[in-house]
Amino acid sequence: MSDVKKIATRESYGNALAELGKNHEDVVVLDADLAAATKTGVFKKAFPERHIDCGIAECNMMGVAAGLAAAGKVPFASSFAMFAAGRAFEQVRNSIGYPKLNVKIGATHAGISVGEDGATHQCNEDIALMRTIPGMVVINPSDDIEAKAAVQAAYDHVGPVYMRFGRLAVPVINDKPDYKFELGKGVVLREGKDLTIIATGLPVANCLEAAEKLAADGIDAKVINIHTIKPLDEELVVAAAKETGKVVTVEEHSVIGGLGSAVCDVLSEKAPTKVMKIGINDTYGESGPAVELVKKYGLDADSIYEKVKSFV
């Protein structure tokens, strides 16, 4: 996919916020001294009076966001996933989730592809954390188009939303005329009858590439993109499992508590199916170039192809 347009979803987040700000004066963007990295600086340049730098005080930022939401604003609180979901979990749970406030959390630099920043900044646990908060919507877009649509959908939804964005540039795969983003609805990217690959975020494009490699071996893989992990598109997941009989989940997140766990929760109750989870296997990340880390932790197209082939 070297000739395909690539853009990091954190870039998409910043651009989408700036567009949103043009149409909605109630949008306020908060950051924790990371506007250049999270790309909220794009919004700050366009609307400096509606951008608040809370400093390196993520927990306080969530409290400020809660207050703004209580006053009728629509705040987008932004920081690295490790800090937004990890450091500020208590404030997100108690100050935003419990009172069901209309706060949107933009968490960038998620997953192993943060790269050289290493294990302390590579948050592979955020989806699991945010899934446990009652009423929290969890979105993990796979490309530029989906990330921009997610920001608009988050604004339109009344209630707390957690959005997960990446640092590494990823291929644009949703540039189809009939593409439609709906909260809680998955997208079938490729039809197939032998097994179903259900993916989210960064690895979705790699799963499509792996599916083509599998096709050359006579294995017909259905590929589903799950951009909204909570609420999950249970109907689509169950139907695909019944149709193909085997399911593989792929995520740039721990195999504990993320997409794989959400899918298994549904299938164990409604359509018991053999499932293989591909993700970060109960381990910390390490420092290194993002592309090499994606390959080392088995999330590149070749690794996914090999694992799925052995599973089939």
249-302 pLDDT, tens digit each: 999 999 999 999 999 999 999 999 999 999 999 999 999 999 999 999 999 999
Rg of the chain taking only CA atoms, in angstroms: 19
The mean per-residue pLDDT over the stretch 96-110 comes to 98
State mean pLDDT over 93-121.
97
CB of 63 closer than 8 Å to CB of 92:
no
Q: For domain 187-311, give the fold.
A: Rossmann fold (3.40.50)
- According to the model, what pLDDT value does residue 175 have? 92
Mean pLDDT taken over the chain:
97
Q: Parse the chain into domains and list their residue ranges.
A: 6-171, 187-311
| pTM for this entry | 0.96
Could you list the active site residues?
58
Work out the number of other CB atoms within 10 angstroms of the CB of residue 19.
15
Place of tokens 């943060």: 114
Query: Mean pLDDT over residues 15-31, rounded?
Result: 98
pLDDT tens, residue by residue, 224-247: 999 999 999 999 999 999 999 999
d(C-alpha 257, C-alpha 176), whole Å: 31
pLDDT, one tens digit per residue, over 57-90 is: 999 999 999 999 999 999 999 999 999 999 999 9
Q: Does residue 231 have a cis peptide bond before it, meaning omega lies within 30 degrees of 0?
A: yes
Same fold, 6-171 and 187-311: yes
Nearest residue to 157 via CA among 132, 135, 180, 134: 135
259 contacts 253 by C-beta, under 8 angstroms: yes
How many Å apart are CA 259 and CA 28, to the nearest integer? 30
Could you give the CA distance from residue 57 to residue 81 in angstroms, rounded to a whole number?
A: 14
Q: Does pLDDT of 17 surpass 70?
A: yes
pLDDT of residue 4: 79
Fold of 6-171: Rossmann fold (3.40.50)
Residues above pLDDT 90, as percent of the chain: 97
| Contact predicate 265/281, CB 8 Å | no
Q: How many CB atoms lie under 10 A from the CB of residue 37?
A: 17
Q: Residue 152: left if φ>0, alpha if ψ -120 to 50, beta else—which one? A: alpha
Cα dihedral sign, 98-103-107-111:
positive
Asked whether 251 and 199 are in contact (CB, 8 A), the reply is yes
